[in-house]
Structure 1
């Protein structure tokens, strides 16, 4: 019964976001216990903090996910951000390599990239987020920065990783540029 519910949830998710959930089905078919644990990851990754910091969270999720994958997982994060009314232009700027010009989305994106690489500007980005949006926003951005890589790495580990692809934002195709 639990297995059927987990698979039904994965199928609804696949339909909602036009996303390949074959790896989720593989996990559930192999181990119901593993499928249950997988189903709880969104409790962590989708903690978005205060509404006024939504764009920072979305940018951090995008920056972290892009660091781990430049294909379907990035497209999923983009679709979820657009669904949350994050401005498409700011998302595109991050994907095109101009996070500095992407406002609060870029702030979150740069924060995630700095947290992952432990760069010298991390302290300043952390302070900016906390001063402007509060400690809860910083927690949400940190959750996003650490969790965006989970699914790409999990998919690759299971043999379900996909090659890089362009990302669609509304009717525009964006060729993703990785930060160096």
Structure 2
């Protein structure tokens, strides 16, 4: 019965976001205990803290673009729009158009990429983030970056990460852009 109810929740998510939940259904079907631990992880991935929603989604979107080829990126973009992040701002984050972003959001985009690249230049930006939102804001950004990356890693590990797809915002395709100076530098 519990598996049935949990699967219904997954199907609701599938319908709400037009997102393939097969990898989660596979975990649920195979190992209820593992699925329950995955669900417990969701509390970390939904942490919002005191961070403005735009900053939180800037970190999440840039982190997912680092590791994903479409479906998870689309999910995070949809969630950002659902959280009332202006679609123009979402597009600028996806496009990595720093000039169209407010300075605080541009800071989060740059910081996220430097963190993911393990670039020591993140240290200077980290201090700016702490000045804006305190240690709690930094922790929220850290959770946003780390937890967002779990999903593509899990999908690829389980064999569900092979399908690339176009990201759409307001019925228009958008092509996620990566920082050309950091592409390829995230491997130690």
Query: What TM-score, normalized by structure 1, do the two folds share?
Result: 0.91
Distance 2:39 2:19 in 1: 16
Does residue 131 of structure 1 match 2:124? no
| Deviation for aligned residue 1:5 | 2.1
- In structure 1, what is the equivalent of residue 36 of structure 2? 36
Distance 1:64 1:20 in 2: 20
| Deviation for aligned residue 1:134 | 2.1
Q: Any conservation in 2 of the 1:14–1:21 contact (CA below 8 Å)?
A: yes
Structure 1 window deviating more from structure 2 (70-79 vs 159-168): it is: 159-168
Query: What TM-score, normalized by structure 2, do the two folds share?
Result: 0.88
| Deviation for aligned residue 1:107 | 2.7
- In structure 2, what is the equivalent of residue 90 of structure 1? 89
Structure 2: give runs of 5+ residues left out of the alignment.
184-188
Q: Deviations over 1:49-98 (max 9, x none)?
A: 115x2211111111111111021000000011111111212221222232
Does residue 162 of structure 1 match 2:183? no
Is the partner of 1:161 in helix, strand or coil? coil
Structure 1 window deviating more from structure 2 (85-94 vs 60-69): it is: 85-94
Q: Any conservation in 2 of the 1:91–1:102 contact (CA below 8 Å)?
A: no
Distance 1:146 1:128 in 2: 20
Is the partner of 1:168 in helix, strand or coil? strand
Structure 1 window deviating more from structure 2 (34-43 vs 100-109): it is: 100-109
Structure 1: give runs of 5+ residues left out of the alignment.
none
- In structure 1, what is the equivalent of residue 63 of structure 2? 64
Q: Deviations over 1:130-178 (max 9, x none)?
A: 1112221111101011111100010011111133332111122101222
4+ residue runs of structure 1 moved beyond 6 angstroms?
A: none
Distance 1:108 1:162, change over 3 A: farther
Distance 1:150 1:61 in 2: 11
Distance 1:87 1:40 in 2: 30
Structure 1 window deviating more from structure 2 (131-140 vs 146-155): it is: 131-140
Distance 1:99 1:34 in 2: 40
- In structure 1, what is the equivalent of residue 145 of structure 2? 145
